[in-house]
Each structure stands twice: as structure tokens, then as C-alpha cells.
Chain A
């Protein structure tokens, strides 16, 4: 069955990249055995790190809550298998700043005992949307497309907006990554189930499932599952295979022809976007009562022996995942968590697979490219920018540290997709430069805010001192008045009393 095509919006620029996905999708998802050790970072999501509620030495079971939400934005963390907590300490993790973060380390007993208390939930359709959202919060579910925004809070924000469409993101546009593709092939029913839960929770009547045209098997499977389900509110939309059409705002633009306003969210134009993996995780939690303790991850690249998609426990060390995929090849030189366009390079394979890890990419040494040269203003970068920015101008202003122009030319709108880097004949690392420039203008803004706060504090202090001075003057005048009325004897007495007080001191 071919997917019905609907009117699609237009995305500016983008790149048609070599997919390199076939190596990993030639086999079904391979379930990974429980590793010896699980390493669960406390911050696997956007927001505050979770707070451990277990101690070193405690035994835990699969699905047991081990770290609870701290603050207003976060997601709980569950043990991915049974075993003993052996440490709560900093451990190497994959993230851009700093290489270590606090983790709960569990030594697995291999029995994979399931935590007992997860009570059954009545049919979700019986629950009010608010209750359902509260329930989703408990499942530890975060956006599995890579943004790892806590799903429950995203939904709670969205429900306050005038929503029209739920969009499930099955557009896995970055090369090499295929975990969503295989998930749609093998778990189409769960994904649709998740979509229906989301629609119920948000009171929505339209759901688009967007899938790229280069995933015919996923489209076919979803089509079959949809026919089986017979829910006409869910519509499949096939989108062209152009990177970065899977970016949240880009997908909204592609599917609805609406532009997400700068600094805004898709909910501002009536859309809520969820990754297909997230939908499946919601289904697993709400219907099967399984919290988010495992995910499908692609392990691929010319640096691993047998590229594949694995179903791995959250917290599995990447070294174990690589070993499961046949180990490194001799050419392995780069280890990247995520895709080749936006992933994070890590220095050690001790880092664990986390909720965000959609791909583990091992690549050989990149081909030697020439030196970085001055920009020749060819404009290739502007041609491919999906936001229609002018990277060559931004680069110019970034070199000049011109904050005003950087803002005017939309630096903060840059999604760091990396398209401009790939077409630059001068080999300027534009995306990396823009990341630095963004941090820099954020720093300037913070500085400004600090200065502003200091200024208002200073002014408040002056105001207070002036007020106190006036009060003192007034008080003195009052005392003088009283003294005048009382006459010279009284004054003498007061002066005497004051003198006595002084002497006492």
C-alpha cells in the first residue's frame, strides 16, 4: 500500500545526503542481553537532574523508580534491570559541556526481576486528560528523537494552547540513523496506540504520521496497522527525503505549511510534535505498564563489524553495544553518539547509552580536507539553510563579535543542522562557530541582565537611604518641636539623660 500524499508545505534548502542506512536495517531489531553493569545518569533529559531515591547497597528490580523528579521540569528514572546499586558517582557521559556527570551505577544480577508494585491502570479512555498526563509523567518518558524534553511537561504546556494537530515524527532524516525506521516496521501497532493515547490526553481529532519517502517498508507496515485499526483520525503523510526535514519546526512547516514563530514552539501554531519512539514508549507505559527502561538504538558506521539496530537497556555502556555488534573494525577512529550531522563525539566508550541515544556511530578517519580558507561569499550556505539565514553574513559578524548584527541576522534561529558546513568550499566550521557565537551572545545577555540587576539594586538602595534620611530629619524636627513646647528645663533633663546614656556606654 502506498501512502496517500497530501499537500505539503515547502522547506527551504536542505541537503540530499547519502543515507547509509541499509547496513543496519537489513536485519530485524536485535534484543541485547542484560549487561553486567548499568550506568544511569541523573540528567538524561532537559531540566533539573533527578534526585536518587536509592542508596548504595540497595537492591533494585527492573522498572523500579530509582531517581525522582526534582523541580518543575524533569523525568523520573527507573532501573533498567535488577541488581545492586554499587555507586552513585560522576561517570563519563556524552554531552557537549563537561565529560562527567552523576550516575547511578547498578551491578546487574542477570535475573532481570520485574518490580512488582507497578499497579495496573484502568483503560486510559476512562481517565480525564489531566490524570492521563500525570500518569505519563510517572513513566520517565522523554522525547526520544534526541531532544529528550520531558514528554509530560511538553504535553502539559501544549494543552494550554489552542492545538489542532498531533504530528508523529517518523522522519529520520540524518544519515546512518535507522532506529525509528525499524521501530515503525516492527512496532507500528504500538506507535498508533501511543498516538491514540496522546490524542485522548490532548483532546485532538487529527494526527499526522510523517514518514520519509525512503522508508517504504515502514510506510507499508504503518498503512497495514492503520487499516487494521480503522481509526480515520490518523493520517499518514509521506514527506520528501531531505535533511533536515525531521527537525521539529521543519516538520511542522513541511506538514502544515505553517512557520513556527521565532523563539516560539510548534504549539504556537497549533501543533504538537512527538517522535514515533516516544509514542511507542507512551503506549508501553500506559497500556503495558512498562516504564522507559530500554530503547531501540542504531549501532552503525564503517567502524563496527556488524551494523544493526539493537533493543538495549537504558544505561548499557556503549562498549557493550559495540561488542554486541561484533566489535570495532580496524578503521574505527571516531565515536559519535547520535548522527553524523548533529551527534556528539565522545572520547571513551565507557559512556552509557541513555534515553537520548538514537544512534552510536563509529566512523573511520575522515578524508583529509584542505585548510580552512577565507569565505569567498559563494552563498552555497545560504542556499541550503533551512531557516533561510545568511550563514556567510553571520560568520562575518561572529568574527567581528557584533552582537546586534548577529541577533538581527537571526543567529538565535540557527538550528545547528550543519548543512552550511557541508557545502562550504572554504571548509569553514560554520556550525561550530555559530555554537560559540550563540554562547557568546547568551553570555553578553546574561552580563547585561546582571548589570541591570545590580543597577536596580543600587537604585533601590539609594532610594531606601534617602527615605531613611528624610525620616530621620522628620523625627529630629518632631523631637525639636516637642522639646520647644516642653521648655528649657525639659531640654536640660533630656540632655542630662542622653549624657548618662553616653557615660553608660
Chain B
């Protein structure tokens, strides 16, 4: 009997990139539902537009690079980029803002660097930073969470679609009527206006730890993140590093001066802290690879988030922190090379 010749090992790998990406998407579903619950249907439109432009941009770039778009799209990584971008956007965002971010993420940050596996920067964060700088007004239009007892004006589905497609609010509503400062904004400006932390927390938008609604989304993100940890899609070092890097300095500062510093609990449940720890910083392509390296990378991101929030011009610093640490990855990888078994111990060159 004759047989085909193959190369060892003959057992098949179980994990696959598309399966990993799908599980990441699945882990985001609870948080996405919560987002829609608290901030209205805008998230869904943002997600659709981001997906359309991420997938379309990827298909065009892959084609331009002479490869089969079907195979490239089948890894679902463009969908993850779109989802992360959608989570970063205010629920009311005009389509061209989302499209700019999505296209920059996929075309420039991903494919101009060589596509999946070769991108130095986290695509979603690169796209987000571009629109944050390019469209500061639109990116500041956050609506208040729908919590029943808060006095707010919310838009219906039709009005949301209209705004998303045209950038026009209903005639009777001004920009100021629906937009609210995010809890992070309120905290930053409040503290800088010499209000105390306790004072700021009396604002009805504040919840148990972070902002109302926001902290619930944070809970669901954490649940998804723990599920990814259990599934071994992500490892503990990066989430732990990010949270430790943010919460330790926050805790120390809060302990020293609880009046003029936000509590670690507030930092944990505000902004994109949990999304960053479990879903953004854990993008393997743009993160450090060794176990020690991942911890250092995570801690660096956490520290930078704290520094930007506490002393920077932006209310949240996740995107900048991630991009800055992306730049540090080659250096981290170099200095955290593990000891090769059988080689002399001590300093490596």
C-alpha cells in the first residue's frame, strides 16, 4: 500500500485565528447589549458603519496587495477592529467620523504595515486617535446614560439614524441639550476647578464607583474578559499589568490626598479601563510576547493611562497609552528574552 509523505508532527493544531477572533467578538456581546441599553441604538449604527468600512477597506487593501480577500477576511480580525472602534465612539457619531477611523485603522495602521501579524500599532486605537484629533467636537458628544431617574433627553431610533447619516440634530434640540460630560471629563475638570472628589461624586451621573451605566458596561466587559481568560484566548499578565499599573498609583495618590484625587474604584470603572485591560491591550500582534514582557507592557499602559488622566489634556488616556507602549514593544521583547535551557545563565547580550 502506498501513502502520502508528510512532515512531523502529524497531530493537528486545535486553535485557530478565526476561532480566537470569534470568541473575542462573542465575549463582547454582553457589553454591547449593555451599551445599547444605557446609551441607545447609536452603538449599533456605529458598529455597522465601522464593520462596513473595516471589512471593505481590508478587502480593497488585500486585493491591492495581490492576495485573495476571501481568505484574509475569514480571519475575522477586521470585525474585532470594528467592534473595538465602535466601543470607543460616542453613541452618536456621524458616519464619516466612524468611516475615517475605520479606514485609517485598517488601511494605514494594519495593511500599510503588512496586514495581520505585522502591524506595529493597535489598529483600532490608531484609528480612534486620528478621529479624536480630527473631529474633537463630534467625539465629545456623549449622551447621558438612560437611567430613568436622571433628567435627560434621548434620541429615538429615527433621530439617531438621521444624526448618524447627516450630522444634524432634530431642529428643536441643540448640541448642549443632549450632550453630557462623561464621568471622566466631569472628574478631571471638577478636580482642576478645585472641587473635592466627594463633591464631584454627588453629581447624579456618578454611580457606586464610576459613572452610572458606564460601570455596568464595565462589569459586562470584565465578565467577557474573564471568559477569554478561562478559554485561554488571553493570558493574565496584560490585564493584571494594566489594572495594577493604573490602580496602584491611583490608590497611592488617593490614600495621600483623597480630596483631590479620584479613587482607584472610580478609575477601574470609568472610561475604557476594563475594555483596555481585557480587549485592547491584549491584541497579541501589537503586544509584547514573553510572559515577563507582557506584564511590563501592561503595567506601562496602566501607568500611562493614569498619568494622562491625572495630568494630561485628555480625560481618558487608553488609546495614547496603548500606542505609546506599542512603540516600546520591540525594546521590551529584547530585554525580556527568556533564558534558553542549557545556555549559561546571567545577562544576555
Contacts and interface: CB of A to CB of B under 8 A. Distances in A.
A and B interact physically: yes
Contacts of A336: 8, 10
B118 interface: yes
Given A347-B3, A348-B2, A426-B17, A413 B10 contact: no
Interface stretch (A106-114, A165-173, A416-424, A488-496): A416-424
Interface string A310-342: 000000000100000000100011111010111
Interface of A is mostly: loop
Interface string A174-195: 0100000000000000000000
B342 A377 contact: no
A370 B16 contact: yes
Interface size class of B (residues with CB under 8 A): 35 or more
Interface stretch (A33-41, A213-221, A383-391, A462-470): A383-391
B290 interface: yes
A369 interface: yes
A421 B6 contact: no
B116 interface: yes
B8 A345 contact: yes
A374 B117 contact: yes
Nearest to B338: A388
Interface string A419-441: 00111111101011001000000
Contact of A389 (B9, B114, B235, B340): B340
Nearest to A410: B340
B287 interface: yes
Given A334-B3, A369-B16, A423-B15, A343 B10 contact: yes
Contacts of A425: 13, 15-17, 19-20
Given A336-B10, A340-B11, A425-B20, A345 B3 contact: yes
B44 to A, nearest CB: 28
Contacts of B339: 388
Interface string B1-33: 111111111111111111110000000000000
B343 A410 contact: yes
B337 interface: yes
B1 A328 contact: yes
B284 interface: yes
B342 A333 contact: no
Nearest to B344: A261
Given A376-B116, A426-B17, A348 B3 contact: yes
A262 B343 contact: yes
A53 interface: no
B171 interface: no
B133 interface: no
A50 interface: no
Nearest to B118: A374
B12 A376 contact: no
A376 B343 contact: no
A393 B288 CA distance: 12
Contacts of B290: 379, 382, 390
B71 to A, nearest CB: 6
Given A340-B9, A374-B118, A422-B11, A260 B4 contact: no
Contacts of A346: 3, 5
A200 interface: no
Interface string A212-236: 0000000000000000000000000
A372 to B, nearest CB: 10
Contacts of B64: none
Interface size class of A (residues with CB under 8 A): 35 or more
A342 B116 contact: no
Given A374-B115, A374-B117, A379-B284, A422 B340 contact: no
Nearest to A416: B8
B4 A376 contact: no
Given A333-B3, A382-B338, A410-B340, A421 B9 contact: yes
A410 B348 CA distance: 12
Given A319-B1, A374-B115, A427-B16, A344 B341 contact: no
Nearest to A368: B12
Contact of B341 (A253, A345, A378): A253
Contact of A366 (B8, B10, B284): B10
Given A389-B340, A410-B343, A369 B12 contact: yes
B8 A12 contact: no
B55 to A, nearest CB: 17
B342 A259 contact: yes
A371 interface: yes
Contact of A429 (B7, B338, B340, B349): B7
A416 B296 CA distance: 30
Contact of B13 (A264, A424, A432): A424
Contacts of A199: none
Interface in B70-117: 71, 74-75, 114-117
Given A12-B341, A334-B3, A392-B289, A423 B13 contact: yes
A347 B3 CA distance: 4
A390 B290 CA distance: 8
Given A333-B4, A345-B7, A376-B116, A369 B17 contact: no
Contacts of B5: 345-347
B7 A373 contact: no
B186 interface: no
Given A12-B341, A373-B75, A373-B116, A334 B4 contact: yes
Contacts of B4: 333-334, 345, 347
A431 B7 contact: yes
Contact of A334 (B10, B19, B333): B10
A349 B16 contact: no
B1 A332 contact: yes
B191 interface: no
Contacts of A51: none
Contacts of B11: 17, 175, 340-341, 366, 418, 422
A375 interface: yes
B248 interface: no
A377 B117 contact: yes
Given A249-B342, A370-B17, 18 more contacts: A338-B8, A341-B9, A346-B3, A366-B11, A373-B17, A373-B75, A373-B116, A374-B116, A376-B116, A377-B117, A380-B15, A388-B338, A388-B339, A389-B340, A410-B340, A418-B8, A425-B19, A426-B117
Interface of B: 1-20, 71, 74-75, 114-118, 235, 284-285, 287, 289-291, 294, 333, 337-344, 349
8 contacts: A261-B343, A262-B343, A345-B8, A369-B16, A370-B16, A377-B287, A425-B17, A432-B7
Interface of A: 12, 17, 175, 249, 253, 259-262, 264, 319, 328, 332-336, 338, 340-349, 361, 363, 366-367, 369-371, 373-380, 382-383, 386-390, 392-393, 408-410, 413, 416, 418, 421-427, 429, 431-432, 435
